[in-house]
A and B are shown apart, each in its own frame.
Chain A
């Protein structure tokens, strides 16, 4: 059976060009960056070159890039690190209702440590209103953290505007760009951000590495204490093979971004248009245009998401759902509830995310089988 992968927002395969660059760093060039011998110097040099490349990709200085182990770690470091370093100024933090669980849960934990959290609502497309950020800021506010582009519904937030407000009011501004990094242009200065999270495995790099941009002069405390790697902000032996892979993945994204945006947008729009035409009772989640070029998210009346996913999987198509039944929790996606879907509607959601190797024939195959799957599940459903 032919396999079609449409879950690139979840993770991506490592590009063979990336893997090739990484391989020597496992067994031959394996030195610890903190040692003094020649093995170490080689690793140290590669690490700093990777840092420079990553920095130049987002308009930052090399010293402002902190390599971490995952986007979750970067987000934890941003929230907890800023919170604890600035608690004397105030203990109020602003996030949105559509953040990734690692932001949501960090914020929730900070509440148990005496911090106060405001969770901003979004409109029906998932947009945060910059004015809401302005209104939520008090003299106790130290940080706002708003996702750059939603991992579930692909909506791209007005980060530049929100950043401007935060700067005017003198609070730190973090954005989780795990989904957008490498897919749309990012410039930390233009976007007015003080901290930004980027991930490797979402852009055809290896898992196990990510980074946090921390603007020079930002007051931040580390979470991991130890040997003082990464300017003391992330003690741990540096994962050089993964980091060089990450930087190579960035290089490729930079080179191919423009072409990929055009190509994927075309495929995305074909999927959206034809699903809406072919499947009655189908609704697009997120904004029709202001969304990532690789994200398609729908909900279908009267059917449940996991059943759709497994039907697709039986035909070789890998997709995902924000539905409750597929996870340990019984609640449906908090993002879909935040854009105003009722729980029973949110249960019927399907996310198809495109990537570097998605072809038009893949999209055509999905369009051929999906209407039948929905029809079949509706025949079984008591709701008509």
Chain B
């Protein structure tokens, strides 16, 4: 795969001209993952519709991302991958598919693909819970895992802020 700097040409292409970015009005589901402290935040919005077979599909999808090149490229590519898919199919999009669609990611950026897959599953989860649907067991577990990871980071951040605040308070003495 041809490369530009540490990124593949495909990553740069998606980064340069991201697809489907911006805020969505009245979304059916929203997935918010990441933490500004770590430098990556992804918000994914979905609208759910039905296909000809009356199955629920992702009719529209948009993202907003604060982050590095890989974060923006993975957000963009997942919107392309998910659009038009049934909810069941969309739930199955994983980090491997995202990385493949980008022709690879540098090892230190692989977490961005995890983040993007997480954002989509969180958006679907949000839609399902809002509409009182039954949630598949493994999907629920996935949600719990993402939630727990987010809390761990938030907790770590709290510690960090405390240390920083203390240091700056010390300066004033």
| A contacts, CB < 8 Å to B | 97, 121, 123, 302-304, 306-307, 310, 313-314, 323-326, 328, 330, 332, 337, 340, 342-344, 347, 379-383
Query: How many A-B residue contacts, CB cutoff 8 Å?
Result: 82
Known A306-B69, A310-B5, A380-B72; contact A325-B171, beta-carbon cutoff 8 A: no
Rounded to whole angstroms, the CA-CA distance of A383 and B67 in the bound complex is: 11
A340 CB → nearest B CB, Å:
6
Tell me if A343 and B37 are in contact (CB < 8 A).
Answer: yes
Rounded to whole angstroms, the CA-CA distance of A347 and B157 in the bound complex is: 14
Tell me if A337 and B164 are in contact (CB < 8 A).
Answer: yes
Give the most central of A123, A304, A323, A337: most B CB within 10 Å.
A304
Tell me if A123 and B37 are in contact (CB < 8 A).
Answer: no
Q: Which residues of A contact B72 (CB under 8 A)?
A: 307, 380
B127 CB → nearest A CB, Å:
19
| B contacts, CB < 8 Å to A | 5, 7, 12, 15-16, 18, 21-23, 32, 36-43, 63-72, 108-109, 157, 160, 164, 167-168, 170-171
Tell me if B37 and A344 are in contact (CB < 8 A).
Answer: yes
Inter-chain pairs besides A325-B39, A325-B67, A380-B65, 5 sampled, C-beta below 8 Å? A310-B5, A330-B38, A340-B168, A343-B39, A383-B41
Rounded to whole angstroms, the CA-CA distance of A141 and B32 in the bound complex is: 50
Say whether chain A's binding surface is mostly helix, strand, loop, or mixed.
Answer: loop
Q: Which residues of B contact A342 (CB under 8 A)?
A: 164
Tell me if B15 and A307 are in contact (CB < 8 A).
Answer: yes
Instruction: From the candidates B7, B21, B39, B64, name the one contacting A323 in the complex (CB within 8 A).
Output: B39
A96 CB → nearest B CB, Å:
12
Instruction: From the candidates B21, B38, B66, B70, name the one contacting A302 in the complex (CB within 8 A).
Output: B66
The 6 A-B residue pairs with the shortest CB-CB distance in the complex, in nearest-first order: A344-B36, A382-B64, A325-B68, A306-B68, A121-B171, A343-B37
Tell me if B168 and A330 are in contact (CB < 8 A).
Answer: no
Rounded to whole angstroms, the CA-CA distance of A313 and B68 in the bound complex is: 14
Instruction: From the candidates B65, B109, B160, B171, name the one contacting A381 in the complex (CB within 8 A).
Output: B65
Tell me if B68 and A307 are in contact (CB < 8 A).
Answer: yes
Rounded to whole angstroms, the CA-CA distance of A306 and B12 in the bound complex is: 12
Instruction: From the candidates B12, B65, B164, name the one contacting A310 in the complex (CB within 8 A).
Output: B12
Q: Which residues of B contact A97 (CB under 8 A)?
A: 167
